[in-house]
Structure formats: C-alpha cells, structure tokens
Chain A
Amino acid sequence: MISIKNLHAKIEGKKILKGINLEVKPGEVHAIMGPNGSGKSTLASVLTGRDGYEITDGSVIFENKNLLDLDTEERAREGIFLAFQYPVEIPGVSTTNFLKTALNQIRQHRGEKNLDAVSFLKLVKSKMKLVDIDQSLLSRSLNEGFSGGEKKRNEIFQMAMLEPKLSILDETDSGLDIDALRIVANGVNSLKSKDNASILITHYQRLLDYIMPDFVHVLFDGKIVKTGNKSLALELEEKGYDWIKVKHSSLETI
C-alpha cells in the first residue's frame, strides 16, 4: 500500500528524517514508537504534505502513485488520513459542517455521487456510535472547548466517516484515560479491514494492549533503528528507550 524508501527531510534547515524505510501492506497495523523528538510527527507531516518540510532524498509510493507529488487534499482523496496529535481549533466551523464538504470532495474524486443531507446525517449517526460521540459536539466549533478525550474521539470519528485506506494516528492515545482509550481503540479496531492499513504512532505500549500491531518499529533520531513484533513494545516498556539511545549513539561514534 505504501512504500517509504530512504526518506530524508529537513525543516528550517535542520535534518529531522535521516533515511526512513517502511513498507506497509493492506490489512497491516504498524506501530511506530520512539522517544520525544525522534521525528514521529515529522514523518506524519511529511506523509500528509504539510508545508515547510524539504524532502532532500528518498521516495514515497502510495498505491502506485508518487505521494510526494500530490497536494495535501489530493493525498486525502487518495485515502490518506491523519489523526492529529494536536487537533486545531477552528472557530465557527463545526465537524459536520466541514466533513460534508470533505466527504463529497473525496467521493467526487472516486467518481461517486455527492451524498444528500439525509444520507449524510444517517452516516453521521451510524459512525457516532462507533466512538460514542455526541451529536451536539459535532455541531459545535471544531475542538473549541473540547476535552482532550473529545478531541481524539472526534479524530477517530472523522476517520470512520472518510474511510481512508491508510490512517496515521499520531499519539491518539496520549492524554486519554483508560475508558477513552478503550473507546478509541474499539473504534480503530472495528474500522480495520483486509483492505486498509494503519500506522500507530505512540509513545507508550499501552495502546498496543488494545490494538494488536503486526509490526513494531522504533524510530530514533530520524531513522528506524529496530523492528520487531508486539514483544518489542513490551521490551521497550520494561527497559525504556535508553538502551536504544546508548546502542544507537555508540554505533554512530564508531
């Protein structure tokens, strides 16, 4: 589905991604873990086409298309979705309000007909249940005065509405209590199919108790330094990141 090769990226002249290689196939769940500042969010930003990043080397092929050639909205229409680590507030714009536009632009791109108001509302209602979100929240200004949990649930709700092929969840678990975490995880699990895939960016292995990853990668200093299965996450939980840091830094000094 997505093939990232030797990806290098800079921001404000600073090298952040230093040769990422990652291959994700349909039906797979990949977890990317790593200490703060290692470049996880940067990877998510580069994959979704945020301004300000300079791609200095490498390639990203998504469903046979050169992803880096596409605008942010084109990537979304091709099926990439990012659940933001820090969802923005947009005064006066409600979730239902922009989601209808978004959904219809994606549908147009796929050559499907626009959804009318009634079918849209029906869809909203069915997806609301998935993440236990209230309709009143969806008609309020986006994220204004939302609690941390509400913001994250809203992100997953949008994911459910837009049915992406590849979803990238950037620290969706952080700041959630155990109940909210369970709701979010359930939402993600029920959206899982053999045709879509997800990349879970997370700091703790906690989320992985609820969402079973097929692969766990450790991102450190802009590179994936270790790949394994669920047990790697447990190992990280136990030992922390220091052993990776030490090991990797010593490699660099050799």
Chain B
Amino acid sequence: METSVVNGIRDVFNNNEANYQSSSLAHRKSALDFVLSHNFPDRKDEEYKYTPVNQILKKNFNFKNTITSKTTDFDFEDYFYQLEGNHLVFFNGSYQPFQSKIYNEICCHLEKKSNQSFHDIFDALNVAFYENSLKIEVNKNYRSQPFFIYYFYDSQQGQIFGNPNIQIVGHPDTRIEILENTISKGTYPVFINKKVSVHVKTNAEINITKIQNYKKHVYQIYNLEVNQDTQSKFNSNVYSFAGGLIRNNLKINQMGENCESHMHGLYLITGHTHVDNHTAVNHTHPHSYSNELYKGIVDESARAVFNGKIFVRPEAQKTNAFQSNQNINLSDEASIYTKPQLEIWADDVKCSHGCTVGQLDEEALFYLRSRGIGKNQAKALILIAFSEQSLEHIPFEFVKKEIDTLIRKRLIG
C-alpha cells in the first residue's frame, strides 16, 4: 500500500484509539496490520477487474481528510418508516442505541469488543475500525417485529469513513425481516465499508432487503456473509439506484441439507453510477436450492458489473441452482459486464444460468406508440415491466410501492 495511504489510515486509527475497548485493541491492531500489508484491489485483481477500488478511492477519497463528528443536525426520527418495528439508527457508521426506537429490546444488543475474524482487506478494515457492533438475535417462541436499519452519514464538515458492523442470528424456527436504507447529507466524500454476518439456524428464515440510493460522492463496499444451517431459508433483495460506487459482496454458505437461498437484485442506474454485485453460493449438502435473479437497466455513463458464483460440492446431490442476470443497455456510453461462474462437482444436480445484455425492444416500443402512448411513457411501461419481476420477493408491501414509485419517477420523470 502506498505510504501516504498507510499514513492516512494509521492516523485515523490513532485518532480513534481512545474510543476502542482496550481488551480488543490487540485484535484490532492485527486487523490493521493485515490492511496495511495489503493493497486495495485494482484492475489486476480478477475479482475487482471492473471495479478498481484502489483507483476509485485514490481519485475520490482521502483518509487524511476524514473527520469524526458526533453531532449533526439530522433529525433521525423524521426518516423512520411509519410502521411498528425496530427502528435502528447508525450514524457515520456506528450504532446509536439511544437514537433508536427499539420494540424488541431483547433482540438488539450492542457489542463494543472487536473479535471477529477477517478474510480480506475490507473485512479487516472493518474489524480494525468499527466502533461498535449491532447484534440482532431472535430466539424461538419470540415473534419479533421487523428491523428497519437506517444508516445516516453527515459529511457537511468533511470526509466520512464509516464502518457499520452487524451480526444477525436467527435461532431455530424463527423468522427475521430486515430493511436497510441509507440517508446522507453533505457534499464531502463518504466511504462506507460495511460488514454484516448472518447465521440462519435450523428451520429459521431471514430476509434482508436493501435500498441503495446514494449520493454520487458516496462509495460503498458491502460484505454480507451468510451461514445457513439445515432447512433454513435466506432471502436477499437489493435495489440499487445511485451512488459513486456500490460494491455488494454476498457470500452464502449452505452448511446443512435442504437449505434454500434466494437472491434478487435490481439496478436502475444513470450518470456515472457504478454498481457491482458479486455473489457466491456454496452448496455443500444434499437437497439444497438456490435461486438468483438480478435485473439491470443501465443508462448514460453508468457501469454495471455482475458476477455470480455457484459451487456445488460433491456431497451436494439433488441440488437445484438457478441463476439469471438480465440487462437492458440504454446508452452507448454505458457498460455492462456480466459473468456466471458455475463449478459443479456433484452429478445429480439441476443447474441453469443465463446472462443477457440487450437493448430496449424497438418492436414493443413501436407497438405501444402505435396505440397512442407517448415515446417516454411507452419506454417506461416496458422497462417497469422488466423491473417488476425483481420486486416480487420483497416482504414489505410499502417498500414495493416505494421502489415502484422510484422506478416510475426515474423513467417517466
């Protein structure tokens, strides 16, 4: 790593050191050492070929200029959904229990200690820097309300480096629903390096829905790692609309039989927005299932990257794994890179995958216009229909409507 970046990161760490619990300082330092002895990935890294984080950060973000601000003129509650549930606030990356409105006290814990393992540079960066961790844990015989997590960032005074950290545990026979949204203020760059780990235990179900509608100076890396036990179900829905950089890493590890994983995504991007979804599902036991559908509409100079890995290990017989990534490219300047990656060692499996990049269907457009529908409206009709398939799996009806409105506003103006 370049000396100036090393120094920048080290400075931030030293400035924060007093806030960290001393018992876990050694662990944080080992994570920091890991970070400093590696490089942020760039074009040479296969996994980041189209998302050279190193270059993007170098151009847009400077650790030296970050500030730690505890005060803000945000009125968090204004942004809460008008629904019963747990409204959990993160501010500039750290969990704020006192600003949150918690319905199920028993399910939401704050952990100051840093003891999590790390596998790559972003993981390590988060482990070194996160101020606290939110642990959501739901036990059997306990019906929890949904969890609405709001990430607020205020970069009115300077650059913000945020490291939200969340652990989610669904104990056997439970069901958890989570909705994440991000709200930011200010014009200085924000670098978000989020780490979320999920454990779905036997016969439990967890749904996570994320809305990513960031300002253009927000750069986000999101590592979501999921472990699933026997007969568990995990659903991920991710809707990306804007941001300087959105990189979502979703790793699902099925560790028992009869696991079910659903991954749905939609990106509807314009300007210079860059969205990269990397997903990986590891089927290790028999009778497992995964279904993935990501759809994208890419306009202007936006860039979309999709990479979907499916591993079916030799023991994972009778596995069904489906994957599809469909893109519509609306502009000559836009770019779309899509790649399925299937590695199958078991022989009795059903797998299918398909990646498509196409233009708007001119025949369909002409048909609708020939019925009297204006060009833009006709385009919107086609594109909304294309998008809507990815909204079918949202557990929250109001979010479906909100996203639908967002899509319409984006397409019709």
Contact = CB atoms under 8 A, between A and B. Distances in A.
Nearest to B383: A92
A158 interface: yes
A50 interface: yes
B377 interface: yes
B368 A102 contact: yes
- The listed residue with most A CB atoms (<10 A of its CB), out of B371, B377, B381, is B371
Contacts of B408: none
- The listed residue with most A CB atoms (<10 A of its CB), out of B369, B370, B375, is B370
A48 B366 CA distance: 9
Interface string B348-391: 00000000000001111011111111110110011011101100
Contact of A162 (B363, B371, B374, B385): B371
B158 to A, nearest CB: 45
Q: Contact size class for B?
A: 20 to 34
B370 A76 contact: yes
Contact of B364 (A50, A82, A90, A101): A90
A162 B372 CA distance: 9
B379 to A, nearest CB: 12
A105 interface: yes
Contact of A92 (B363, B367, B388): B388
A72 B366 CA distance: 8
Given A51-B362, A71-B375, A73-B375, A93 B370 contact: no
Interface string B247-290: 00000000000000000000000000000000000000000000
A71 B375 CA distance: 9
A84 interface: yes
A88 B373 contact: no
Contacts, number: 75
A98 B368 contact: yes
B367 A88 contact: yes
A103 B366 CA distance: 16
B130 to A, nearest CB: 42
Contacts of B377: 101, 105
Contact of B370 (A48, A103, A105): A48
A73 B385 contact: no
B367 A71 contact: no
Contacts of A81: 370
B367 A90 contact: yes
A98 B373 contact: yes
Contacts of B389: 92
A207 B87 CA distance: 66
A76 B367 contact: no
Contacts of A90: 361, 364, 367-368, 382, 385
Contact of A91 (B369, B372, B386): B386
A76 B372 contact: yes
Contacts of A91: 385-386
Nearest to A105: B372
A2 B361 CA distance: 30
A90 B361 CA distance: 9
Contacts of B368: 90, 93, 98, 102
A191 B182 CA distance: 55
A76 B385 contact: no
A87 interface: yes
A99 interface: yes
A98 B369 contact: no
A163 to B, nearest CB: 11
A99 B371 contact: yes
A90 B366 CA distance: 11
A125 interface: no
A158 B381 CA distance: 17
B145 to A, nearest CB: 33
Given A72-B366, A101-B377, A101-B381, A92 B386 contact: yes
Contacts of A101: 373, 377, 381
Contacts of B372: 73, 76-77, 102-103, 105-106, 109, 162
Given A91-B385, A91-B386, A93-B385, 14 more contacts: A51-B366, A71-B369, A73-B373, A73-B375, A87-B367, A90-B368, A90-B385, A92-B389, A97-B381, A102-B372, A102-B373, A105-B377, A109-B372, A158-B371
Shortest beta-carbon contacts, A-B, top 7: A92-B385, A76-B372, A102-B371, A72-B369, A106-B372, A73-B369, A90-B364
26 contacts: A50-B366, A72-B369, A73-B370, A73-B375, A73-B378, A76-B369, A76-B370, A77-B372, A81-B370, A90-B361, A90-B368, A91-B385, A92-B386, A92-B388, A92-B389, A93-B368, A93-B382, A98-B381, A99-B371, A101-B377, A102-B368, A102-B373, A105-B372, A105-B373, A106-B372, A162-B372
Interface of B: 361-364, 366-375, 377-378, 381-382, 384-386, 388-389
